[in-house]
Structure 1
Amino acid sequence: MKQRVAAILAADIVGFSRLIAEDEDGTLRQLAAYRNVLDDFVAHHGGRVFNTAGDSIMCEFDSAVEATRAAIDIQDYMRTQNLAASQNRRVLFRIGISVGEVVERQNDLLGMAVNIAARLETLAAPGGICLSRAVHEAVSGHIAVPFVDIGERQVKNIPFPVHAFALAGQDAGIPPEPRLSFLRSRIMSALSVTGACLVVIIGAGGFAFHAQPSDPMEPPAAEAGVLSPVRQRGPTPVLTADPIEAFSGHAQRGGQIDDPHSAPGLYHNALLLEAKGESIGAHRAYYTLARMGLDFVDPHLRYAALVRAHEGRFIARQVYAELNEDVPTRATALVHALQFDGAERRARLNAVVETHPDYAPAYFLLADEHSEDRVGSLQTAHDRRVEHAALAEFLKAHEEGRLMPFFLDQSVAAEWIERAYKRHARVALSSESVLALPAYDP
């Protein structure tokens, strides 16, 4: 058997047995949908899945850098999905990555690198990533995320301590000037998934994108044709007397709605299609809803996560740049800001809060950006003050009755509120510190 060096990614779902016990059919459908997304991320970064067992997945990559980028993309996608999921249906992965010699046998891989990746996964926090020292050395100069040295750990069935590092944040860099071949492949994928015509203007300043809805029964225009880059407003919103109540009714009745024209019907269908793994139909429903110019935040979060999962963060950023220009709302501005990384995302989130101080969901996401869950042990006193102040603004909006109208799915709002109260109490500061801090601090 021939040996070779490979990077190994091991992923496992936290609390899988509980999820199965509570809703076996729903959990298996959800797992199948997430597996499709995970497989897409792995393939996009040049890897392959070589072993699966229940809720555990083992993947091989030629590069430790690409393995880590795939892991960051997976966790970033899951984090966004969980923002719009109820507590009991939240799915969290633990991921471990190692690099070393492996031996292939009947498409499976054996070796110490495989064993160490599986053990590192158990050291990772829910929603987190744990790297071996060799992986850390390989990626630290290539991926712009902070690492935390958690030291040597003795793990099961490994005869020596494993020196491990954890990712403190879930951001990953995007090449500043993507190659044209990369853009072309992502654009063609976006066209096939969203059922839209995409106008691409290439000039000295770079690339400009515009997606126009197209008839799904109409064949694509010939390459020789020229598409007019005319911006189109979204469809006229069709709102029931109470869209929130209408969405709740759809959810209680279940089943797909034929030819929906209202925001509640489109969101209901999008969620149902996404759960069934029918991503093309889900894209179309989300896109139609997104162009209605409404301020409901939960459909936008789900749509951005779906685009990011299937088309990558660059396309998701472009989609929301277009939406924010064509049909600008507080929701599109907020979700567009979330498509950036690191310091730029923080700056954009602060700008949204400053521009739209009445848009309560922005405070929750700003607090999340500075939370210990996000930045890990690198959370500073400044981060805690910002998190505390932003959560206070969010909860104030809730107590004054200004929050719930921004959510079509009220269970998502209830989940955010519950989490906000717990986190606000956890990061409670002295009255002097709180009073000294503005409502939102860049």
Structure 2
Amino acid sequence: MKRKVAAILAADIVGYSRLMAEDEDGTLRQLAAYRNVLDDFVVHHRGRVFNTAGDSIMCEFDSAVETTRAAIEIQDYMRAQNLASPDGTRLQFRIGISVGEVVERQDDLLGMAVNIAARLEALAPPGGICLSRAVHEAVASQIAVPFEDIGERQVKNIPFPVHAYTLAGPDEGAPEPQRSGRRFSSHLTLALAGAGLIVLTGVAGLVLQGRLPEPTEPTAAFGPAPPVRQAAQPLLLPADPIEVFSRLVQRGGQVEDPTSAPGLYHNALLFEAKGESIGAHRAYYALARMGLEFIDPHLRYAALVRAHEGRFIARQVYAELNEDVPTRATALIHALQFDGAERTAKLNALIEKHPDYAPAYYLLAEEHSEERTGRLQTAEDRRIERAALGEFLRAHQDGRLAQFFLDQAVAAEWVDRAHKRHARLEVSAGSVWAPPAADFEP
């Protein structure tokens, strides 16, 4: 029998027996459909399903990081699907992840890591994930999500306590009306009154204004919706939006009925600071649809969607924005919603298409940085990081960078960090920094 080290993902359906008793055919159809999607996520992260029994699924991966990313994407997908389903028919997974030595017997895997993953799955909240300490140590610096340390747990048929960490779904602990879909969601109709838009977003994509019937009922979450129009109310761009934004920041206070990018961004940041996520979503979305090249509002908006709706929905939102109002900024932020090699490939493709687009060089450098690659950073990674940072700093030196940031403080932070990282790389290369050569070869 072959022994090896593997990361194991165990998943099963919450309340499966009840769902089968209430609607066996419907539950089996849902499970089959979700299994197909789950298999795709597993394959995408270079894993394989090695065992299934009823509602239980066991998967093997070579990497704890890829296993955890797959688990997060699976739960994001399930959450998005459930938002459109009645409470009593929703399928929710619990997922457990462990890593350790396993024994391979034909196509099956046996061993303590498999058993622990199954027990951790039982500790996960509905829609959540539970990790062993070894997995948490491997992924904590690679995946920026809030894990909760639940300490050592004695679990069935494991002779020693298992130290575990959980990652709950965003609805965990929320009041029932909120879980039933009344909070902001990409699957709800959003009354974006400030922009005169009604949008329905979701896994199937955004359904834009002009394709929906005029609403006759108020939307549940946001009050009366404006009538649907064929074109959004025009949003204005001041002669110097960067200067206008700077004055708004200095003045403080909310802008009433903003009609410009600086006003929308200023309000969005205020709403975020006050914890008013719905107002922030509205302002960011109206600004995102203006088709401007400022990237800092897009970065904040994508982060807000990921935090509330998950990365699966953030990816869908920016896929649609990039199709409807394509700019270099939407293409860049869409690329960032992917992971690993796929994100790097999209950044390289964007640079190839727009070789003078400075922000893409900075983010490509991050992909190859020691902070991202850790101990796996190679000499080639360092070469690419150094060259990309050089191109970014050249753009700053030539005055081609500021135009991409409404908030110049964000641009200054990027430049400062780029200088420090580039200087370290130059020292390690045994030379003193000079303006980089024009050629860039990723």
TM-score normalized with structure 1 length: 0.56
- Distance of aligned partners of 1:193 and 1:306 in 2 relative to their CA distance in 1, 3 Å threshold: farther
Change (3 A) 1:385 1:46: same
Alignment map for 1:375-386 (pairs within 5 Å): 375-386=373-384
Contact 1:287/1:303 (CA < 8 Å) preserved in 2? yes
**SS in structure 2 of the partner of residue 197 of structure 1:** strand
Q: Work out which of the residue numbers 196, 207, 210 in structure 2 matches 1:210.
A: 207
Q: Which residues of structure 2 form unaligned runs of 5+?
A: 1-74, 80-91, 95-122, 168-179, 192-197, 221-227
Aligned equivalents of 2:294, 2:184: Cα separation in 1 = 29
Alignment CA distance shift 1:318-1:200 (3 Å): closer
One-letter amino acid of the structure 1 residue matched with residue 218 of structure 2: P
User: Residues 177-208 of structure 1, C-alpha deviation per residue, up to 9 Å, x if partnerless?
Assistant: xxxxxxx989982144844432679xxxxx44
CA shift in 2, pair 1:64/1:241, >3 Å:
closer
**Inter-CA distance 431–255: structure 2 relative to 1 (3 Å threshold):** same
Aligned equivalent of 2:154 = 101
Residues 267 and 289 in structure 1, CA contact (< 8 A), matched pair in contact too: yes
- 1:392 aligned residue (390, 393, 398): 390
Residue in 1 aligned with 2:279? 281
Structure-to-structure mapping, 1:410-421, within 5 angstroms: 410-421=408-419
Q: Structure 1 residue 357 and structure 2 residue 325: aligned?
A: no
Q: Which residue of 1 aligns with 2:200?
A: 198
The count of aligned residue pairs is 294
Aligned to 2:218: 219
> Does 1:61 pair with 2:124?
yes
Query: Counterparts of 2:415 and 2:215 in 1: how far apart (Å)?
Result: 39
1:330 lines up with 2:364 in the alignment: no
Q: Distance in 2 between matches of 1:403 and 1:307?
A: 26
Q: Deviations over 1:210-248 (max 9, x none)?
A: 344999996359xxxxxxxx9977664411121111111
Give the one of 252, 258, 261 matched to 2:250.
252
Cα 1:358–1:438 shift into 2, 3 Å: closer
Change (3 A) 1:62 1:310: closer
Distance in 1 (alpha carbons) for counterparts of 2:438 and 2:229 = 39
Which runs of structure 2 are paired with 1:84-163 in the superposition (5 Å)?
100-101=153-154
Are 2:187 and 2:200, in contact at CA under 8 Å, matched by a contact in 1? yes
2:351/2:361 contact within 8 Å kept = yes
Letter in 1 for 2:199: C
Superposition pairs of residues 229-248 of structure 1, within 5 angstroms = 236-248=234-246
- The residue aligned with 2:23 is none
2:185 to 166, 182, 189: 189
Residue 343 of structure 1 is matched in structure 2 by 341
* SS state at 1:189 partner: coil
Kept after mapping to 1: 8 A contact 2:93/2:128:
no
Q: Please state how far the C-alpha of 1:413 moved relative to its aligned partner.
A: 0.5
Distance 1:95 1:199 in 2: 31
Distance 1:419 1:337, change over 3 A: same
Distance 1:283 1:441 in 2: 38
By how many angstroms is 1:77 displaced? 5.8
Mapped to 2, the partners of 1:352 and 1:376 lie a distance apart of: 25
1:371 aligned to which of 369, 374, 378? 369
Deviation at 1:441, TM superposition (A): 3.8
8 A Cα contact 1:64 1:99, kept in partner: no
Matched letter for residue 66 of structure 1: I
Percent of residue pairs identical = 58
Q: Secondary structure at the match of 2:200?
A: strand
Give the partner amino acid of 1:198: L
Would you say the 8 A contact 2:394–2:436 is kept in 1? Answer: no
Contact 2:362 2:389 in 1 (8 A): yes
Q: Which residue in the other structure is 1:106 paired with?
A: none
Indicate if the aligned counterparts of 1:244 and 1:410 stay in contact, CA closer than 8 A.
yes
- Contact preservation (8 Å) 1:366, 1:390: yes
Q: 1:188 to 1:274 in 2, by over 3 A?
A: closer
SS in 2 for 1:210: coil
Aligned partner letter, 2:185: S
Where does the alignment leave 5 or more consecutive residues of structure 1 unmatched? 1-39, 48-59, 79-92, 104-110, 119-128, 130-183, 202-206, 222-229
Instruction: Normalising by structure 2, report the TM-score.
Output: 0.56
Structure 1, residues 78-125: CA drift from partner, whole Å, max 9, x if none?
Answer: 7xxxxxxxxxxxxxx79768764279xxxxxxx9656x869xxxxxxx
- Comparing 211-220 with 395-404, greater Cα deviation is found at 211-220
Secondary structure of the equivalent of 1:427? helix
> Does 2:369 match 1:316?
no
Measure, in 2, the Cα distance between the counterparts of 1:350 and 1:95: 35
Kindly indicate whether the alpha-carbon contact (under 8 Å) linking 1:293 and 1:327 is maintained by their aligned counterparts in 2: yes
1: CA distance between counterparts of 2:140 and 2:318?
Answer: 18
